[in-house]
């Protein structure tokens, strides 16, 4: 063997050994689970987490800068100035200012925070809504939400001790305007949560039609509309349907979006935005030892999530998210076409990236992490795929091959 090729082999061996070394934690259980996660990521089809995290450079910078040894905390209001500088609120505020116009808010009429999750955003929407209505009307509101909306809204009504009326939805999962009309108590304030993406079928409540129902009743003492847009609120601003998530066009008071769904943050996080009027009508908890107004629910808040958001705005930004939104919509249509082509009963709502279909074998359900549902109007057992960034055409093709085998 020539010296050159021997050197090459040695080099290859060293690189291999180093890579192996870098990938092992020294804990067998952790290493085994890492393999499970890496494999599982390829066929993660049933849930709306973006599995194409673009955080690698972020973590690299974070460690190299030594930030892992600094304990930052975003307690307090990022939209007001503060002398407290052991937080990332300067970045959190820029995140809110970037997103505000995407959801139809103007800079001078918006307030917001980076939340811990979509649920945390809904918690703020329902809490702020109830406070807003109580302060304006001196009455307890009734909360209306569709029976296909995310369960967090029902849980939060219970937690906040607000009377809840579940409004029936149609077969595709949209709140039925006539049912809202029937459920309305027009003598009390209306707190309504619109599902922007019902959980299983991916339906969007028709806000214009539902607003019209409410507007017909001028006797209603007060109205507050919160939009639960955890998943769809991520990509819709980057499509031609952006007016559907626009405060200006749809007249809602607040909106919640998840950060780990479309935007690609690799851990639970989110956004909450509302109008200034809503913020101003909240009880003002002036906390002397924090030297702040504490209108948000949580005291300590994560300082790293706003940094990740800010990082992604610079690295991916409007252009990148527009491309991703286009690809997601294309791949959703592609998946539906491929299912149609093999004669597999499948449905998809307008504007939705969630395709639901007759439930395949348990094998496929497990391999592809498919979420399961049941509806007799669609033949009983159902499953769905949420087409996120990592659900590519190649992966859809492999999925369809598996489904075809299942048919036989
Ligand atoms: C995912 C989702 C939620 C919950 O959001 P988390 O970020 O998981 O707390 C709420 N509503 C809708 C419509 C969702 O898609």
The number of beta carbons lying within 10 Å of the beta carbon of residue 86 is 12
- Residue with tokens 């049941």, as numbered in its chain: 374
Beta strands in 111-162 (DSSP E): 111-115, 142-146
Ligand 1 atom nearest the C-alpha of 150 is: 11
Q: Say what the pTM is.
A: 0.93
Query: Rounded CA gap, 114 and 306, in Å?
Result: 6
Query: Rounded CA gap, 87 and 71, in Å?
Result: 9
From the list 151, 391, 117, the residue with the least C-alpha distance to 265 is 117
Over residues 109-123, the pLDDT tens digits come to 999 999 999 999 999
Among protein residues, the one whose CA lies closest to atom 8 of ligand 1: 118
Over residues 258-281, the pLDDT tens digits come to 999 999 999 999 999 999 999 999
pLDDT value of residue 1: 46
Query: Rounded CA gap, 13 and 17, in Å?
Result: 6
Give 118 Cα–ligand 1 centroid separation in angstroms. Answer: 5
CB-ligand 1 contact for 204 (6 Å cutoff): no
> Mean pLDDT by 10-residue block, N- to C-terminus, for the chain (408 residues)?
51 51 82 95 95 94 97 94 90 98 96 98 98 96 97 97 98 98 98 96 97 97 98 97 96 98 97 97 78 84 98 98 98 98 97 97 96 97 98 97 89
Q: How far apart are the first and last CA of the chain?
A: 54
CB-ligand 1 contact for 214 (6 Å cutoff): no
pLDDT value of residue 6: 55
Ligand 1 atom nearest the C-alpha of 195 is: 13
Helix (H) or strand (E) holding 161: none
CB of 109 within 8 A of CB of 275? yes
CB-ligand 1 contact for 205 (6 Å cutoff): no
Torsions phi, psi for 205 (to 5 deg): -60, 140
Any idea of the CA torsion for 308, 309, 311, 316, to the nearest 10 degrees?
Answer: 130
Query: Rounded CA gap, 111 and 119, in Å?
Result: 18
Among protein residues, the one whose CA lies closest to atom 14 of ligand 1: 230
The number of beta carbons lying within 10 Å of the beta carbon of residue 254 is 29
CB-ligand 1 contact for 266 (6 Å cutoff): no
CB-ligand 1 contact for 230 (6 Å cutoff): yes
pLDDT value of residue 396: 98
CB-ligand 1 contact for 258 (6 Å cutoff): yes
The number of beta carbons lying within 10 Å of the beta carbon of residue 138 is 10
pLDDT value of residue 14: 52
CB-ligand 1 contact for 197 (6 Å cutoff): yes
pLDDT value of residue 7: 52
CB-ligand 1 contact for 126 (6 Å cutoff): no
């Amino acid at each position: 063997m020539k010296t050159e090729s021997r050197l090459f082999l040695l080099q290859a061996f060293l690189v291999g050994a180093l890579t192996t070394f870098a990938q092992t934690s020294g804990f067998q259980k952790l290493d085994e689970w890492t393999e499970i996660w890496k494999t599982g990521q390829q066929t993660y089809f049933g849930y709306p987490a973006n599995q194409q995290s673009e955080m690698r450079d972020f973590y690299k910078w974070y460690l190299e800068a030594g930030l892992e040894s600094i304990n930052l905390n975003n307690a307090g209001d990022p939209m007001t100035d503060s002398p407290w500088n052991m937080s990332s609120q300067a970045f959190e505020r820029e995140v809110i200012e970037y997103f505000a116009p995407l959801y139809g808010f103007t800079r001078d009429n918006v307030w917001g925070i980076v939340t811990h999750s979509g649920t945390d955003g809904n918690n703020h929407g329902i809490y702020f809504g109830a406070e807003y209505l109580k302060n304006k009307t001196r009455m307890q509101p009734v909360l209306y939400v569709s029976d296909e909306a995310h369960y967090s809204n029902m849980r939060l009504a219970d937690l906040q001790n607000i009377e809840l009326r579940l409004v029936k939805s149609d077969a595709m999962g949209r709140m039925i305007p006539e049912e809202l009309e029937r459920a309305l108590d027009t003598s009390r304030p209306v707190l309504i949560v619109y599902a922007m993406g019902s959980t299983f079928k991916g339906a969007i409540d028709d806000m214009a039609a539902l607003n019209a129902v409410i507007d017909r009743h001028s006797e209603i003492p007060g109205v507050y509309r919160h939009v639960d847009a955890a998943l769809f609120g991520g990509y819709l601003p980057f499509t031609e349907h952006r007016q559907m998530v626009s405060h200006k066009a749809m007249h809602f008071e607040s909106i919640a979006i998840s950060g780990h769904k479309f935007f690609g943050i690799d851990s639970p996080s989110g956004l909450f935005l509302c109008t200034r009027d809503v913020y101003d009508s909240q009880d003002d908890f002036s906390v002397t030892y924090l030297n702040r107004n504490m209108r948000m629910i949580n005291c300590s808040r994560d300082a790293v999530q706003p940094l990740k958001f800010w990082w992604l705005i610079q690295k991916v930004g409007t252009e990148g998210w527009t491309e991703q939104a286009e690809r997601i919509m294309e791949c959703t249509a592609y998946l539906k076409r491929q299912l149609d082509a093999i004669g597999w009963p499948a449905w998809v709502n307008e504007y939705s990236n969630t395709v639901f279909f007759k439930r395949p074998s348990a094998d496929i359900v497990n391999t592809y992490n498919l979420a399961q549902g049941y509806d007799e109007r669609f033949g009983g057992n159902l499953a769905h795929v949420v087409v996120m960034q990592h659900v590519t055409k190649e992966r859809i093709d492999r999925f369809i091959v598996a489904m075809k085998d299942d048919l036989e």
